Amino acid sequence: GAGVSQSPSNKVTEKGKDVELRCDPISGHTALYWYRQSLGQGLEFLIYFQGNSAPDKSGLPSDRFSAERTGGSVSTLTIQRTQQEDSAVYLCASSLRGTGQGGNEQFFGPGTRLTVL
């Protein structure tokens, strides 16, 4: 079956511009996660959605970052007024269940490589 998909695969933007990154999770997965993979910071958690509950935004690095998940499926990560330090690979993952489910596997998408010039 289809895995997690992300678009675009690559995005080059100029400093100060806004960008939107999209994630399509595996059908039926109720939990969705965004992570960032950068050279200096490794893999960092950004935000988590579980069903219709309020998202866990504890990993977002600044108020320039926001995300939404429409209809419990597709998610969009928005970065406003991009900075050079935002350059990274943004990974999306989904899992069948989230909270309280130990060992629940997260399936990762291929990522979006963002370059801010």
Based on CB atoms, which residue is closest to another protein, 7 or 108?
108
Q: How far apart are CA 57 and CA 52, in angstroms?
A: 14
Question: Closest approach of Cβ 34 to another protein, in Å?
Answer: 9
Two structure tokens written together for 100: 């309280």
Question: Closest approach of Cβ 32 to another protein, in Å?
Answer: 11
Based on CB atoms, which residue is closest to another protein, 47 or 82?
47
Based on CB atoms, which residue is closest to another protein, 24 or 82?
24
Based on CB atoms, which residue is closest to another protein, 82 or 112?
112
Q: Are strands 112-116 and 10-13 parallel, antiparallel or unpaired?
A: parallel
Are 95 and 109 contacting, i.e. CB atoms less than 8 angstroms apart? no
Which residues would be at the binding site for another protein (CB under 8 A)? 4, 31, 33, 35, 42-43, 45, 48, 50, 56, 58-59, 91, 93, 98-100, 102-111
Question: Closest approach of Cβ 43 to another protein, in Å?
Answer: 4
Question: Closest approach of Cβ 46 to another protein, in Å?
Answer: 9
Tell me the Ramachandran region of residue 68: left when phi exceeds 0, alpha when psi lies from -120 to 50, beta otherwise: beta
Edge-first strand listing for the sheet containing 5-7 = 5-7, 19-24, 75-79, 65-69
